[in-house]
Structure 1
Amino acid sequence: MRTENLLIEIGTEELPPKSLAKLALAFRDNIQGMFTDNDLTFSQVNWYASPRRLAVVVEGLSEFQADKDVEKRGPAVTAAFGEDGEPTKAAQGWARSNGIEVSQAERLKTDKGEWLLFKAQVKGQAISQLLAELVEKALKALPIPKPMRWGSKSTQFIRPIHTVTMLYGNELIQGKVLDVSSARLINGHRFHSDAAFELDCADNYLSQLKQHYVIADHSHRRTLILEQIQALAKQEGAVADIDEDLLEEVTSLVEWPVALVANFEESFLAVPKEALIYTMKGDQKYFPLLDENGQLKSRFIFITNIESKDPETIISGNEKVIRPRLADAEFFFNTDKKQTLESRLDSLKSVLFQKQLGTVYEKSERIASLAKSIATMLGADQEAAHRAGLLCKTDLMTNMVMEFPDVQGVMGMHYARADGETELVALAQNEQYMPRFAGDNLPTSEVSVCVALADKIDTLVGIFGIGQTPKGDKDPFALRRASIGVLRIIVEKTLPLDLVDLVDVSIATFGDKIETEQLQTKVVDFILARFKAWYAEQGIATGVVQSVAANRPTRPADFAARIEAVKSFNTLESAEALASANKRVANILAKNVFTQELPFNKALLQEPAEIALANSLESVETRIQPMLKQSDYTSALVVLAELREPIDEFFEHVMVMADDESVKRNRLTLLSRLRGLFLCCADISVLN
C-alpha cells in the first residue's frame, strides 16, 4: 500500500502566544487519535507552530484505511422464521439493513442457540475522502475558551483562518475545513515574504518556509532564541535572566527571531531590581542582564521578528519604549518612601479581605498574634515576629505594588529597610509568601517562618470557618497550595510544631467570626491530606502513606519521619509477612472487642509458641522505647521486624480462640499489645 507524509497546515491571524504550544500539541494529539480510531496507519505525528500557523506532519501515512471484516448478528433463528418457515418481518428488516436477502444470511451456532449472521469485508476509504472531516473535528476539539467569528461567516475558531493546506506527498487533498478550501498556498513571514507561496510537496514544508523567513519548528526556534540570548550575554560579560515561561512566550511571538542588546540610564538602578525586572519581563518581554554578583545591569536583550538592515533603529525604538516604564517605577519608589509602612496600617482598614472575615487590617492583627505564638513555640524572637506580622500586608497599599502586583512582599522588604526596621522584620515582608509555587525556596529566618506559617494557617482556618471549603478543582483562596506550603516549611526545616496547636491558636484569634464546631479537625485533616499528593510526586507507594495516615500523626515532621521509616521497612524481606500478620491480628481484634480489657497474665500462657512471642514482645518493647522517644522510627521498625518468626510460630501452633475464656482473653490481650506496638510507628497491616 502506498505511504506518504501528510502535511496539514492551518494559516491564521496571530495566535495567542501563551497558548500556542498548548494548541499545537492538542492538535497533534487529536489528529493522532482520530487517525488511529479510523484505522489509518502511520509511523509518527510531528507538530509545528508559529504565530500565524498550526501544523502537523503525519509521517508514513497509508493511503487507505485497513480493510475490515464485519460481522452483524441478527435475530435468533427461532424468531427469524414463522411456523410456515417464511422469514418474519424482523428477519426481513435486518436483512434489508445489511443489503442482503434472508436466504443469503449465514448461521451462528453457540451453546446458547442459533442466530442469523451477516459477514462481509468493508474496503477501507482513501485518506482523501476522510481528511477534511477529521481535520475539522480535530480543530473543533482544541482547548479554546473563547472562539471568535469573523466577517460574515458563522464558523468559529480562536483566530480568523486564512489558509488551509492538506498535502499528501505532492498531492493536494481537496476539501473544506471551517469553511476554508484547501489549497497549496502557504503564507511566509509577514514582512520578509512578499506574498504567499505554493508548496509543491509535504516533505518540503520546513525548508520552503525557512526560505520565506519562517522557522516553523517551535522547539528549534526556542533553541535558537536561547542560544542567541546566551551568546549576547557572554559578549556583555553578564548572565541573562531567562524565565522559562517568558522564553516560551517570546518563542510564540516571532517567526524569525533576531536577538539584540539595548540599554537604559544607570540612574534607574537606584530602584529595587525586582521592580525593574518585572517591568522588563512582564510588560516588554525583555531579558534583563545581571552581573556576576546577581546585580542588575543597565542593559537588556530583546527578540525582534525582523532581520533589519538598520538594527540601531530597532534598538533605539525599544529603548524609548522601556524608558517611561522605568521612569514610572522610579517615581512610585521615591513617592512610596515618603511614607512608612507603619503609617499605612490604618489604610488596610478600608480593604476587605473577605466579607465575613473582615478587613486586611484585621487579618494582619491575627497574623501578628499567631506569628508571636509560633515564635514562642520555636524559641524565636517573639517581638520581631509580631512586628513583621503586623506590617506584612502594608506594602499592598503602596503605589509600586498597586501598579506591579507581582512585586508585593519584595517591595515591603525594601520599604521596611528604608524605614529602619530590623533585618529580620524586613526579610519577613518578602518571605511571608514562600513557598509561592512548587519547588520554590522556603523562608530563611525563624521570624520569616513564623509569619509565613501564620499567614497560611489564618487563611485556612478563616475560610474553613465560614464553610467555603474547596470543591472539585475550585479553590479560589488557594487553600491546597497554602497547605502544601505549611507542610513543606515544617517538614523540610524539621520544626517541632503540631498542626493541632497551630490551628487552635489561630481559631482563638477569630472570635465569633467563624463557626468552630469540628473546625480544628477539618482543617488539620485537610492539611494532612496534602501529604498523599506530595509523596505521590516523589514516587512513594500509596500504601506507605496510608499506613502512616492511619495513625493521624499531626506533627508534619513526625509524619515525614514515619514515612521514611515505613518506606525503608517495606524493602525488608520480612515486610510482607509482617504486614499480613498485622492484618490478621487487626481482623481478630476487630471481631473480639471486650468492654473491659483484663491485664496480661503470664501465668496463663500454655503453648511454647505463645510464651516465646510474649518474651520477644517484652524484649522488643523495652528496646524500642528510647527509639520512639527520639522519633527514630526506622530503627524501631527494624527491631520490630525481629518479631516475624515468633509471630509466624504463634499463628502456626496456637489457637487464639481457646475454649477456656480466660486463656482466650489473655491471648487476645497479647495480640492487642503486639498490634499497639506496631501502631506506634504506622499501621503496617495497610501495606499488605
Structure 2
Amino acid sequence: MINGKHLLFELGCEELPPKTLLKLSNALRSNIIEALTAAGLSFTASKAYATPRRLAVVIENLATAQPDKTIEKRGPAMQAAFAADGTPSKAAVGFAVSCGTTFDKLERLTTDKGEWLVFTQNVKGQSTENLIPDIIRHSIAALPIAKRMRWGSFSTEFVRPVHWAVLLYGGNIIKTEILGLETGTATRGHRFHAPQKLTINKPEDYPEALFKEGKVIADFEQRKSIIHAAAQKAALAVNGIAHIEDELLEEVTALNEWPVPVTGSFDPRFLDLPAEVLITTMQTNQKYFPVKNAVGGLLPHFITFSNIDSSNLQSIRQGNERVVTPRLSDAEFFWKQDRKKRLEERLLSLSSIIFQENLGTLADKTERVENLAAYIATNINADIDLAKRAALLAKTDLMTEMVGEFGNLQGIMGRYYALADNEPAEVARALEEQYFPKQSGSPTPPSTTGQILAIADKLDTLVGIFKVGLIPTGDKDPYALRRAALGILRTIIENKLNINIVELIRFANDQINPSASQSGSEVKRYANGSIDDEPTTSDQVIDFIFDRLKGYCFDQGYSADEFDAVIAVTPAEPLDFMQRLQAVKAFRQLPQAESLAAANKRIRNILKKSETAPGAQVGQLIEAQEKQLLAAALQSDKDIQPLLAQRDYPAMLNRLAQLRDDIDAFFDHVMVMTEDAELRANRLALLSMLSEQFLSCADISRLQS
C-alpha cells in the first residue's frame, strides 16, 4: 500500500470560456500528472473538476517524498585516467571537478567492455510539499490558452481574472503564490446561492463540500449527465424528445454550476421553416435544446437551463420566450426573402466573391467543378446532365441571406431552395451532400450525383491550393486539405466507385490557371527546378492523396507491410487498391504465404541483378524441376487472367499459392545463374514470368515474416 496523502489544487476565476473549459480542465490534469511522474512521485488516481468559475484537480494517495536514488556518472576510461608519470590526467581531474568532488573520491567501474572512472552519489528524494508549488505553476503556464489577459494592476496573466487558489496536501495547506494569489483553504460556492467563503478541510471533502454547502456540482461529467437527463424529462412533459447534440451539451454544462431546466415555447407558425433553420437558431444563438416528436418532427418547444434555482421559473421562461421570438422572426424573414429569387439567378453574383486570390472567384471555381463533375460522371457511367447541373448550382446558396447569417447551413439551404425551384431531387440532394463527410466517421454522400459533386469540389480545392504553393506543413492546414483528401478517398472507396484518381488529379490540374500575379518564386518552389510546375503539382497531390490513403488503411487495421505490398504495384484506383489490400491480408493467413513471400523476395533480388526484360520468352530448359515449374506457371497464368479481369484478387492469390511446392523444388535443385548464358537467360525469363504473375496483384515480397 502506498504511503501517501491526497492533494487538492483549485483555481477560482471569473467565468471561463465555455467552449474551452473541458479542454483546459483535461490539460491541467494531464500537465500535473506528467510533472508528478517526471518527479518520481507515485499516486493511485487523479480526478479533474471544472465549472464556469473553477478548475480543480485531486490526486489520490500522492507519495510524501521522492524515492532516494543513486546517481552514477561515467568518466574517462582507465587508460586515459593517468599521465605517463602516474599522476591523474587532466581528463580525470576535470571529470572529478565536474562532479563536484576530488579524484581520490572517484571509483572504478569494470564491465566486459572495459574499465572506467565513475562517480557515484546517493541523492535523497525531496519532499512532495517542496516540489508541488513549482509543479502547479509550470502546469498552469503550459495550459493551451490562445490569448491570455491581464487585470487590474497585476502583471500575472491567465485566460480570465483569478480570485482564489486552494492548495491542500492531506489536511495541510501548502503555502505558496499562484498567479499572484496566496494559497489557502477557502473556496467559493455558487455566485448567488452561496457567495460566502467555504473552507475545505481535506482534499477528499472537496466535491461533497461544494455540493452541500456551495450549491455547486463540481464534477463536469456528473453535471453533464444531470443536464442530459433533466432535458429529456422536461421534454417528456410536453410529449416530446429533447434533441441533444454533444457539442451543445458540453457547452451548456460549461455554463452552469447548478443547472435547472426551463421549458419554453414559441409560435407554431415558425414550424413552417426548415427544421435545420429552427434548430440552428435555437442551438447557436440561444443554447437551447430543441424538442422533437416521436417521428423526428419539431415541436414548438425548447429546453434551456438556468444557473439559478429560482422561485420564479415562470419569469425565466417568459424571458427566454421573448428573446427567441425575434431570432425566429429574422430567420423567417431570410427564408421568405431568399425564395423570391431562384438559385440560378444568383450565378452572376458568384463572380463578386473571391475563392482564392490566385485561383479566381467562386464563378471560376464553379466552372472548373462543373467540368470535373462531367468528367467523373462520364467515367462511372452516371447522369452527366445531373452532375453538371448540381455543380453549376453548388455554391449559389452562399449568396443567400440565410447562409450569410448561418454559415453552417450551407448546402442544407441549397437543398431546400433547389426543391422550391423545382430542380431535380437528385440535384437538390447533391447540393447538401457536396460537404459530406462533414467530420471524421460521418457518412459519405448517399446519392451518385452527391458523390460526384463532393469529389469534384474537394479535388478542385485540393489541386488548386497545391498549385499556388499553399501546401500543408506540420500542423498547419488552413484549407483543411487533409480532411478534403480523406473525404475524397472515403467517398470513392465506401461507395465502390471505379475512379482512376491519378488521371482525375491530372485532369483537375489542367483546369486551373493560377493568376499571373503569383510570384515566380512560388511556382519554382515546388517545381523541382522545372519552369513548368503542372506535372509537379499533379505528382505532389497524388503523393498527398496516397499518404492519406495510408493513414486510412492503418485505421482500418491493415499493417504497414501489407500497404507497402500494394503501393509497390501503383494501383491508380483507390477502390482497386483496397480490394488488393484485402486480398493480401487474407493471403498472408495461408500456410504457403511465408514461403512464397521469401521466394518472391529472392526472385526480385535475382532479377534486379540481371538485365532480364519483363515479358522475356522462356526457351529450352533441362532440369525436371524447372520444366515442372514452367508448366505450372503457364497454367496459373491462364487461370488467373479471368480472375484478374474480374478483380477477384483473393481467388487469384489463392491460385498462385498453389505454386509454392514447385517454386521451392526449383530453388532446391536448380542454379539460376549458371555459366551457360542461354540457359541462364531462360531461367531468368521463367522467374520474370512468375514475378509478373504475383505483381499483377501485389508485391508480396514486401510482407514481413
Judge same fold: TM > 0.5, yes or no.
yes
- 1:295-374 equivalences under 5 Å are 295-374=297-376
* CA distance, structure 1, for counterparts of residue 96 and residue 466 of structure 2: 64
- 1:276-675 equivalences under 5 Å are 276-510=278-512, 515-594=533-612, 598-601=616-619, 604-675=620-691
Preserved contact between residue 584 and residue 650 of structure 2 (Cα < 8 Å): yes
Percent identical pairs in the alignment equals 46
Secondary structure in structure 1 of the residue aligned to 2:50: strand
Long gaps (5+) in structure 1: none
The farther-off stretch of 207-216 and 567-576 is 567-576
Report the counterpart of residue 141 of structure 1 in structure 2.
Answer: 142
Report the counterpart of residue 67 of structure 2 in structure 1.
Answer: 66
Report the counterpart of residue 260 of structure 1 in structure 2.
Answer: 262
Report the counterpart of residue 271 of structure 1 in structure 2.
Answer: 273
* CA distance, structure 1, for counterparts of residue 112 and residue 378 of structure 2: 79
Report the counterpart of residue 12 of structure 1 in structure 2.
Answer: 13
* CA distance, structure 2, for counterparts of residue 245 and residue 24 of structure 1: 16
Secondary structure in structure 2 of the residue aligned to 1:298: strand
* CA distance, structure 2, for counterparts of residue 6 and residue 365 of structure 1: 63
* CA distance, structure 1, for counterparts of residue 546 and residue 605 of structure 2: 26
The farther-off stretch of 327-336 and 253-262 is 253-262
Preserved contact between residue 528 and residue 554 of structure 1 (Cα < 8 Å): no
Secondary structure in structure 1 of the residue aligned to 2:658: helix
Long gaps (5+) in structure 2: 517-532
Shift of the 608–81 alpha-carbon distance from structure 1 to 2, 3 Å rule, reads: closer
* CA distance, structure 2, for counterparts of residue 75 and residue 383 of structure 1: 80
Report the counterpart of residue 519 of structure 2 in structure 1.
Answer: none
Secondary structure in structure 2 of the residue aligned to 1:471: coil
Secondary structure in structure 2 of the residue aligned to 1:246: helix
TM-score, length-scaled by structure 2: 0.92
Once the 2 structures are TM-superposed, how far is the Cα of residue 656 of structure 1 from its aligned partner?
Answer: 0.7
Secondary structure in structure 2 of the residue aligned to 1:309: coil
Shift of the 2–479 alpha-carbon distance from structure 1 to 2, 3 Å rule, reads: closer
* CA distance, structure 2, for counterparts of residue 529 and residue 177 of structure 1: 46
Deviations 1:364-419 (A, max 9, x none): 12222322332233333222222221111111111111111110111111111112
TM-score, length-scaled by structure 1: 0.94
Secondary structure in structure 2 of the residue aligned to 1:480: helix
Preserved contact between residue 336 and residue 400 of structure 1 (Cα < 8 Å): yes
Preserved contact between residue 175 and residue 183 of structure 2 (Cα < 8 Å): yes
Secondary structure in structure 2 of the residue aligned to 1:148: coil
Preserved contact between residue 12 and residue 53 of structure 2 (Cα < 8 Å): yes
Alignment pair present for 1:126 and 2:130: no
Preserved contact between residue 217 and residue 257 of structure 2 (Cα < 8 Å): yes
* CA distance, structure 1, for counterparts of residue 702 and residue 395 of structure 2: 45
* CA distance, structure 2, for counterparts of residue 382 and residue 82 of structure 1: 89
Secondary structure in structure 1 of the residue aligned to 2:590: coil
* CA distance, structure 2, for counterparts of residue 110 and residue 442 of structure 1: 62
Amino acid at match of 1:472: G
Shift of the 114–475 alpha-carbon distance from structure 1 to 2, 3 Å rule, reads: closer
Secondary structure in structure 2 of the residue aligned to 1:252: helix
Give the aligned CA root-mean-square deviation in angstroms: 2.5
Amino acid at match of 1:137: H
Report the counterpart of residue 230 of structure 2 in structure 1.
Answer: 228
Deviations 1:290-312 (A, max 9, x none): 22222221111112212111111
Secondary structure in structure 2 of the residue aligned to 1:364: helix
Amino acid at match of 1:357: L
Tell me the number of residue pairs that the alignment of Structure 1 and Structure 2 aligns. 686
Once the 2 structures are TM-superposed, how far is the Cα of residue 117 of structure 1 from its aligned partner?
Answer: 4.9
The farther-off stretch of 667-676 and 450-459 is 450-459
Amino acid at match of 1:298: P
* CA distance, structure 2, for counterparts of residue 307 and residue 237 of structure 1: 24
Shift of the 93–390 alpha-carbon distance from structure 1 to 2, 3 Å rule, reads: closer
Once the 2 structures are TM-superposed, how far is the Cα of residue 627 of structure 1 from its aligned partner?
Answer: 1.0
Preserved contact between residue 214 and residue 256 of structure 1 (Cα < 8 Å): yes
Alignment pair present for 1:27 and 2:43: no
* CA distance, structure 1, for counterparts of residue 84 and residue 361 of structure 2: 86
Amino acid at match of 2:580: R
* CA distance, structure 1, for counterparts of residue 143 and residue 681 of structure 2: 66
Once the 2 structures are TM-superposed, how far is the Cα of residue 681 of structure 1 from its aligned partner?
Answer: 0.7
* CA distance, structure 1, for counterparts of residue 112 and residue 639 of structure 2: 67
Shift of the 105–425 alpha-carbon distance from structure 1 to 2, 3 Å rule, reads: closer
Once the 2 structures are TM-superposed, how far is the Cα of residue 563 of structure 1 from its aligned partner?
Answer: 1.3
Amino acid at match of 1:266: P
Secondary structure in structure 2 of the residue aligned to 1:55: strand
Preserved contact between residue 128 and residue 174 of structure 1 (Cα < 8 Å): no
Once the 2 structures are TM-superposed, how far is the Cα of residue 664 of structure 1 from its aligned partner?
Answer: 0.6
